[in-house]
Structure 1
């Protein structure tokens, strides 16, 4: 792929991803595997799925009280943020976020939409800033049609398609990061994100937010959060002994685990370029859920209400619609619509179909069988013939928001945006799903009587397509579609989503103390009380010598900490041992592999162009041939010495890593895993585990160790008496016996964790501090980008000219107040 970093190319030329091993290991026989329709068959009775189920937290028996609904305008944000919206997908995935971006602009935010390069003009015409992240959506569509689910078929693995897809993901991850701190590609105006909105397939979201210490908010068109109400849209469940609601809930975790198996190593390698530590294998699949990242789902609650167990940070707000376009149809389309009954729309948008001619023939047979009029959208597959006629019109490009007002029914692939648009105008719908969530939407449409059962495209034929269209033209389907459209008229999905976004921001911590409409990104190092400054305010104060640059340090608005949680001492210590052993084996192999690669990479003999021509003036007594031989010998010697030095250096570095991994594993990782596992044991029998905060550096590590020791010792010994008493109060003599067992186990585990943690947690904290000191490149780049934006705002914008005097006046007033109060 052009423009790909050489190191990334080397990464993706290696072995196929781990899911190849999963399928070869028997997942296709007894565990999850991909079906022809693209969904993942999840057999919960299989041994592998039963094992995975133990790692996935089960839901509470009783759901929490439902969160109050979010309404447009009930959350006011008067802080003007730099917001980057990261979207991976087709035009249908991008379009809803354009509507969202325009709504955010109405609140004074600066909005940048980061997506594939091919959508540049589409985004810019909407008035949003655009940032290219790479990736080819048409190539993604071709790949997804061949591999409809998240996990690819073995044929794709053997054909090398997976390496290409992983390389594309790596390119898009880098593009997403650059979209957070890169200057505007057109105007050159500096930009550093204050908040991130993303759809889950962009994958970079949480990690970019962690590097910047800013809020992140997920928005998506299909369910991605675990619920008992319905299974994951990409999972086809099979079970006999599992309760259906639990099976639905577990399906989300299994799909996440399989996704992480394919891309976890790519994401962790990219995280290293941001100076972030790798995400543990056990934490990657459930990262958003563990961190309680806010989610807003953009489908109509009248079509599918919010599940009752979803917490307050998850909202269902309605479909995202753009304003109706000011569109004038071409003459031939206008004439076709006027000269007959309303046609049926048939189109598959961004889907790339291998045999477009055969699909066109199939559609025409169904249309002519029914004797109806039809508009066939050519789409990315270039469906249709050269010319239209009185019965069929071939459409190149036309806004659905305009067109769907003039048709009788719609047939499409089931993209969420196209589905929403059809329902918005009360059109009965036939869905022909290809991959992803399309079958999910097809089943939902059928369950509400808004259309027939979905027809997977591989099963499509002229007869079942004709039957499906005939169903859509029935009065009952038309009436059901009009009823849903009436309910959707009362919703304002985009406005409600913006209110949801604002509600989940830490607004109380984001505000600059001098310019209250600007977000704070700096703080004073030495101040009696917190004093936060925006980019512009900081630049003004430094430029006018009210503060020194050294007085300021970056302000973390929303710190994200990814913890490697342990569930018990046995699995915790075992996983730490496996991780340490894996690192040692890998670095030991590199002792021999890296020198070999260096010798392969650097030629032993210089090329002809490297040989200097002899100079008779300098060496008159040496012949031309002799001089050339002497120079060549010297160059060869230099080349060999250089290559040998590089090889020895690489080998020595790997040896050092091997020793480092051994001591880190033995002295830090395994004691820490054992301490954490022992500390977590009470959770296994229903007790709460005390939260002592996060270990971020040596200081927090020492504090954690002290709290854990105090709490472990006191609770461990007192539990011998309190647990039997509590048990007796609840269950009498039986409860006393249970309490005695809990108290004894608690004393053993809590006291052991307290003692072991005195060494493990401070050592872990020191390693964190060392990592922070030795990995500072990204922080320096963020700091410089924020300084550059502050200077740009002051020197080149109206906001800077107005804010300059305001900042100086308010700062001097605060200084006077502080001086008078101290005196």
Structure 2
């Protein structure tokens, strides 16, 4: 059995695919992953023995580049991403029995078009449920296509969402589809979702909302057990005092917070805590030579988060889930997309605080940390961690292979 996993986006789009790849391989499947051409992604996948095919430009360069995404430049960027998918994914998919596609909408649409052209069964997966229409929540807005605040009917808003996505990506997708002899699609969003989309999130952290018009499968979150040791210098810092507060914003460049490192260091120090900065795509750096602050690059979050007082982060699905599983209180400083949702879930569960807006100040971050660093938040975070599932990749791998073989049992509750 040969399976192709296709994604395009940040670390949060690539890491879950590594977990699924390993789970599929353990069940006898041959797996390869199509992912952005960033060296860090290739290194991570190679580290677990998963063949990777580089697709398109570096996601880091695309994310950090200027100008920022807008209604003007998104269609052009989408066309380039889709064309790259048709080229690289088509070659990688030859001889495959199934495909799993995720990532930004135009990338997923391109990969699914390849599967359609080759006649390969394909599954569409998302790592948050906000892009799947539901009468119970609003869609996310796209650059240049704001949702009118006066409209409260969620069904109307989802119709507007479909039109926005078509305006941004429809021409790019259909032009590229025509180039490989495929007919145009009428609605990009519905094409990407299909009739049975998968949501790879934990049901405790992210209870699935009702969607009467779709057969949505929640597999549980996908993660790869990580036994990599922490770097010696990081271990020495952790052992030199009380647990620090970790601060990292992953793949977010923090354009709105050019002085973020100074602000977060001062806010953590104001609470009497040591600081552990993760450089990330924001390139956070030490602000002075004091020994209460340490900066780290790549590190095993599964191990690290169990050794810190709290995790301050951007609210990506993967980071939120990893911190929650580790029982670490969180402060989420959401930047965009689904991140405000994860911030709200952290606050609602009582396992930390949701920062108001993307730009932290000394006062606002210090106040959020005051909430997250209470004994009550620590106790609640440990309790929630004990209820979260760790079998998401196993569930997804078995479900995929069963569907390919024609034997599709119910998804475990």
TM-score by length of 2: 0.88
Specify which of 292, 295, 320 is matched with residue 222 of structure 2: 320
For residue 236 of structure 2, what is the aligned residue in structure 1? 335
Q: In the superposition, relative to structure 1, how do residues 491 and 364 fare at CA in structure 2: closer, same or farther (>3 Å)? A: closer
CA distance in 1, matches of 2:275, 2:239: 13
How big is each residue's C-alpha offset from its partner over 1:409-465, in whole Å with a ceiling of 9 and x where there is no partner? 10011111111100011111111111211111111211222222233223x211101
**Structure with higher strand content:** 2
For residue 101 of structure 1, what is the aligned residue in structure 2? 21
For residue 275 of structure 1, what is the aligned residue in structure 2? 181
Shift of 1:364: 2.1
Shift of 1:164: 5.4
Specify which of 201, 223, 232 is matched with residue 299 of structure 1: 201
For residue 84 of structure 2, what is the aligned residue in structure 1? 172
Q: Which runs of 5+ in 2 are unaligned?
A: 409-413
Matched, 1:204 2:85: no
TM-score by length of 1: 0.46
Q: In the superposition, relative to structure 1, how do residues 503 and 237 fare at CA in structure 2: closer, same or farther (>3 Å)? A: farther
Specify which of 330, 334, 337 is matched with residue 436 of structure 1: 337
For residue 467 of structure 1, what is the aligned residue in structure 2? 367
Q: In the superposition, relative to structure 1, how do residues 130 and 443 fare at CA in structure 2: closer, same or farther (>3 Å)? A: same
Specify which of 55, 62, 86 is matched with residue 140 of structure 1: 62
Structure 1 counterpart SS, 2:311: strand
Structure 2 counterpart SS, 1:218: strand
CA distance in 2, matches of 1:507, 1:192: 19
Rg larger in structure? 1
Q: In the superposition, relative to structure 1, how do residues 234 and 494 fare at CA in structure 2: closer, same or farther (>3 Å)? A: farther
Shift of 1:135: 2.1
CA distance in 2, matches of 1:394, 1:277: 51
For residue 44 of structure 2, what is the aligned residue in structure 1? 122
For residue 500 of structure 1, what is the aligned residue in structure 2? 399
Structure 2 counterpart SS, 1:482: helix
Specify which of 486, 494, 514 is matched with residue 386 of structure 2: 486
Shift of 1:352: 1.7
CA distance in 1, matches of 2:211, 2:256: 44
CA distance in 1, matches of 2:80, 2:151: 41
CA distance in 2, matches of 1:364, 1:113: 38
How is 1:647-662 mapped onto 2 (pairs within 5 angstroms)? none
Structure 2 counterpart SS, 1:217: strand
Contact 1:443/1:454 (CA < 8 Å) preserved in 2?
no
Specify which of 403, 411, 414 is matched with residue 315 of structure 2: 414
Contact 2:123/2:197 (CA < 8 Å) preserved in 1?
yes
Say what the alpha-carbon RMSD is for the aligned residues: 2.6
Contact 1:145/1:435 (CA < 8 Å) preserved in 2?
no
Q: In the superposition, relative to structure 1, how do residues 226 and 164 fare at CA in structure 2: closer, same or farther (>3 Å)? A: closer
How big is each residue's C-alpha offset from its partner over 1:521-578, in whole Å with a ceiling of 9 and x where there is no partner? xxxxxxxxxxxxxxxxxxxxxxxxxxxxxxxxxxxxxxxxxxxxxxxxxxxxxxxxxx
How big is each residue's C-alpha offset from its partner over 1:3-43, in whole Å with a ceiling of 9 and x where there is no partner? xxxxxxxxxxxxxxxxxxxxxxxxxxxxxxxxxxxxxxxxx
CA distance in 1, matches of 2:271, 2:28: 52
Structure 1 counterpart SS, 2:268: helix
Contact 1:377/1:394 (CA < 8 Å) preserved in 2?
yes
Matched, 1:367 2:295: no
Matched, 1:192 2:95: yes
Structure 1 counterpart SS, 2:4: strand
For residue 248 of structure 1, what is the aligned residue in structure 2? 154
Q: Which runs of 4+ in 1 moved over 6 A?
A: none
Q: In the superposition, relative to structure 1, how do residues 356 and 446 fare at CA in structure 2: closer, same or farther (>3 Å)? A: closer
Shift of 1:360: 1.3
User: Number of matched residues?
Assistant: 399
Shift of 1:504: 3.8
Specify which of 209, 226, 232 is matched with residue 139 of structure 2: 232
Contact 2:286/2:294 (CA < 8 Å) preserved in 1?
no
Structure 2 counterpart SS, 1:83: strand
Shift of 1:200: 4.8
CA distance in 1, matches of 2:355, 2:366: 13
For residue 646 of structure 1, what is the aligned residue in structure 2? none
CA distance in 2, matches of 1:249, 1:441: 22
For residue 728 of structure 1, what is the aligned residue in structure 2? none
Q: In the superposition, relative to structure 1, how do residues 146 and 447 fare at CA in structure 2: closer, same or farther (>3 Å)? A: farther
Structure 2 counterpart SS, 1:302: coil
**Structure with higher helix content:** 1
Structure 2 counterpart SS, 1:479: helix
Contact 1:347/1:411 (CA < 8 Å) preserved in 2?
yes
Q: In the superposition, relative to structure 1, how do residues 463 and 508 fare at CA in structure 2: closer, same or farther (>3 Å)? A: closer
Q: In the superposition, relative to structure 1, how do residues 104 and 249 fare at CA in structure 2: closer, same or farther (>3 Å)? A: farther
Contact 1:414/1:432 (CA < 8 Å) preserved in 2?
yes
How is 1:630-779 mapped onto 2 (pairs within 5 angstroms)? none
Contact 1:133/1:171 (CA < 8 Å) preserved in 2?
no
